[in-house]
Structure 1
């Protein structure tokens, strides 16, 4: 009897061990599926909303968490400088930022060159020639025209000079002092046309401006509501309103336009394992999957990778962009804007 009881007890204990072991391994397996295998830190000048969309989509498909740190251009460059000057490898592994910030980071030695098969497909005007940064998408400035207004025209103005001399037109534009994309347009025109011609264009446009908006979306909304006839605006906002049913049409400036280019760079002194993960994320940003994640949330940027379906679907992929580099110093930028404010904006 005692022997029989002992056997039952042994069998019961073995059963408990098997069940506990199964539960442990099942839990560990489940944890592996839900917990990211890696985490990387990325400094970015993107709005927090864009960063959130990208990190959620990438984590869901690649099991890697991207910890974005939103910063201004100046703050981002200062942190990269601190990491570059540190005596050990740093935490940040990648930068996702505007072209201007990436150019400064590359010149200062805060980035290391990297070019992948996907990055090699990107046209040269959207990447640094030595591979220190690669553009992933861009957002050009366009003429956003109200469709009812278009019906009144015998000829559509499709250059900056034609728009400037267009009679009886109401124009909406974002203040150059309020948004980077708007300031970039002004600086790009100065580099492309020269200061005399650029100031002349804006002197003629100014009396027709109904309102200098604070946000990039406002001129597009005004055009959609018929409050202005033409909005000078970023294409992404125009497409978003068109998707919402607003009666708008995009006209691409035939004499060229500016664009905000967003790109990636691998940080100097990034930890080797983190740098590998960052390169994989950089390649993903050049994919259709990244574009789909943004477009699902109504953010429409033109991809730089011509091998993607998203690129082929954009009518604006053949827009003529200004080809003169914008290489003004901070003082020159300040002086140009100061002159615009004093001689045009408040005249």
Structure 2
């Protein structure tokens, strides 16, 4: 038996060595081929999560012959990036949130571009002058604990009921904890008006069991039974479901606020044609949707509204928002909320 084990060990080590040699040879061949026939690149500047876009690189290369060169930056760095530097090429395409795209446009860092693909995106999700186009929408939904949903089959999942019913335990992300959470406050103020928004949030304050520090907190708390309903982005709610947490996703009957990610062609693009090719490809979600979901990104695609109604039969409906929120106005609204409700209300 010992001799047989030694033979198996030898064969295993030999196989591993052979695999290593083949891999090294393949890498060297790729390096050599790159030197002889340099690939064409499209350079993307983004503040999206690290690794998200690289996961799409092979599929995009297969479809287009272009490789993605992804440069990750913070929001402040994006605004200062300009035409690149000695160590980094200039951006061909920016992929970021809607508010950042609006800023990039105002700073003259984007060039207008329209195509058959951008034209089919709803006007709600693109710049009216074609400086940027939305790609992925993350609507706000209600992540409901399964037991609570079963015990309250007649519950009306609208904003007044969810925020105003004092008997249910509620969780939401603190408005100052993340950009998307802050955006929810701005969306509510635009949709309901500031006075009604503060009235609704004042009622909610009395039965919020916890303000989360992360976007994932509300849906996960609902899944763990620590609250009845979590106000959550759809992306995080689906992630919680995929983690086998017992939640039901309900769409607000009176419509959803939403957070938008999109893309714009850089005004300093060395290869605007390549940027346009990538933008059009990203607007064709069938090319890469499965890969996004494999990497746990469950957004709504602006050219692919295929979400089925929720278990109560309500379809996903988006609030009609302009989203022209200025820094001073956002700061003032957050300050008022903190003073009048967050730290001036019933709970802390």
1:247 deviation in Å? Answer: 1.8
**Other-structure match for 1:189:** 188
Deviations 1:41-87 (A, max 9, x none): 2111211132332335434554432222222333212223xx39x9x
Bigger Cα Rg: 1
Using the size of structure 2 for normalisation, the TM-score is 0.82
**Other-structure match for 2:225:** 226
C-alpha spacing 1:51/1:126, structure 2 compared with 1 (3 Å): same
**Other-structure match for 1:43:** 45
C-alpha spacing 1:64/1:34, structure 2 compared with 1 (3 Å): farther
C-alpha spacing 1:75/1:304, structure 2 compared with 1 (3 Å): same
**Other-structure match for 1:265:** 264
**Other-structure match for 2:80:** 78
**Other-structure match for 2:327:** 330
C-alpha spacing 1:32/1:219, structure 2 compared with 1 (3 Å): same
1:143 deviation in Å? Answer: 0.8
| Distance in 1 (alpha carbons) for counterparts of 2:141 and 2:170 | 13
C-alpha spacing 1:33/1:304, structure 2 compared with 1 (3 Å): farther
1:327 deviation in Å? Answer: 2.3
The answer to which structure has the higher helix fraction is 1
Contact 2:113 2:265 in 1 (8 A): yes
1:113 deviation in Å? Answer: 1.2
Using the size of structure 1 for normalisation, the TM-score is 0.82
The 3-state SS of whatever aligns with 1:50 is coil
| Distance in 2 (alpha carbons) for counterparts of 1:59 and 1:315 | 35
Correspondence 1:139-288 to 2 at 5 A: 139-271=138-270, 274-287=271-284, 288=286
| Distance in 2 (alpha carbons) for counterparts of 1:325 and 1:161 | 22
Contact 1:158 1:251 in 2 (8 A): yes
Contact 2:131 2:264 in 1 (8 A): yes
1:104 deviation in Å? Answer: 2.0
5+ residue gaps, structure 2: 1-28
1:30 deviation in Å? Answer: 7.9
| Distance in 2 (alpha carbons) for counterparts of 1:248 and 1:35 | 52
Deviations 1:144-191 (A, max 9, x none): 111100122152232211112213111111111111111110011111
**Other-structure match for 1:58:** 60
**Other-structure match for 1:289:** 287
C-alpha spacing 1:247/1:98, structure 2 compared with 1 (3 Å): same
Deviations 1:272-308 (A, max 9, x none): xx211111111111221222211111210001113xx
Contact 1:57 1:293 in 2 (8 A): no
**Other-structure match for 1:22:** none
| Distance in 2 (alpha carbons) for counterparts of 1:133 and 1:326 | 14
Out of 165-174 and 47-56, give the one that drifted further: 47-56
C-alpha spacing 1:338/1:219, structure 2 compared with 1 (3 Å): same
Contact 2:223 2:247 in 1 (8 A): yes
1:130 deviation in Å? Answer: 2.1
1:135 deviation in Å? Answer: 0.9
* Equivalences, count: 310
**Other-structure match for 1:24:** none
**Other-structure match for 2:69:** 67
Q: Please, which of 312, 315, 333 is the counterpart of residue 306 of structure 2?
A: 312
The 3-state SS of whatever aligns with 1:305 is coil
| Distance in 2 (alpha carbons) for counterparts of 1:50 and 1:62 | 19
| Distance in 1 (alpha carbons) for counterparts of 2:277 and 2:250 | 36
5+ residue gaps, structure 1: 1-26
